[in-house]
A = this chain, B = another copy of it.
Amino acid sequence: MNPTDPHNSEHRKNIVQLLRSHGISPTVQRVKIASTMLLRPQHLSAEQVLTLTNQTGRPVSKATVYNSLGLFARKGLIRELFVDQERAFYDSSTHPHHHFYNPLTQEICDIDPESVSVNLNAQPPADTEISGIEVVVHLRPKQ
């Protein structure tokens, strides 16, 4: 059995557990969407998730994909990325890490965590605390 096959039952069982552990009830559609998202480390737009998810089996509606991705992000299962104005991207890795972004190709890729460090000594404004740090390194074609 191919362990990366999103349709094998072991993978499916892990996804169900993962959803439950994040307080998300594992409906058929949510499991399918989460399987697509979490198959490998990747950065996908909602539209891409929709397309990939619907390559097999019973299709999931666009509204459900958008709503589920929003839910997953709120529950901390995936991370929502704000790299440009065009569309949201969703990152299957939630551990702290940063990104290169090429606006021309709309490609996002992780920066090796070893090679970037952010040092912050500033106090957050009154009555607020830091919920996350996002570093986006914008790229352009050389020359």
Question: A residues touching B (Cβ–Cβ < 8 Å)?
Answer: 80, 82-85, 87-88, 100, 102, 109, 111-112, 114-122, 124-125, 127-142
| B127, A137: Cβ atoms closer than 8 Å | no
6 pairs of residues in contact across A and B, judged by CB atoms under 8 Å: A80-B85, A100-B124, A127-B141, A128-B142, A130-B137, A131-B139
B137/A133 in contact, CB under 8 A: yes
Main secondary structure of the interface of A (DSSP, over half): strand
Among B85, B112, B115, B137, the residue within 8 A (CB) of A88 is B85
Q: How far is the CA of A40 from the CA of B92 in the complex (A)?
A: 40
Given A84-B82, A119-B116, residue A124 in contact with residue B141 (CB < 8 A): no
Q: Which 7 A-B pairs have the closest CB atoms?
A: A115-B122, A115-B121, A128-B139, A131-B140, A132-B138, A117-B119, A134-B136
With a cutoff of 8 Å between Cβ atoms, the chain B residues found around residue A135 in the complex are 118, 133-135
Bound Cα distance from A114 to B123, whole angstroms: 12
Q: How far is the CB of A35 from chain B (nearest CB, A)?
A: 24
Q: Are B112 and A122 in contact (CB under 8 A)?
A: yes
Nearest CB in chain B to that of A109: its residue: B125
Given A115-B122, A116-B122, A125-B109, verify A134-B138 contact (CB < 8 Å). yes
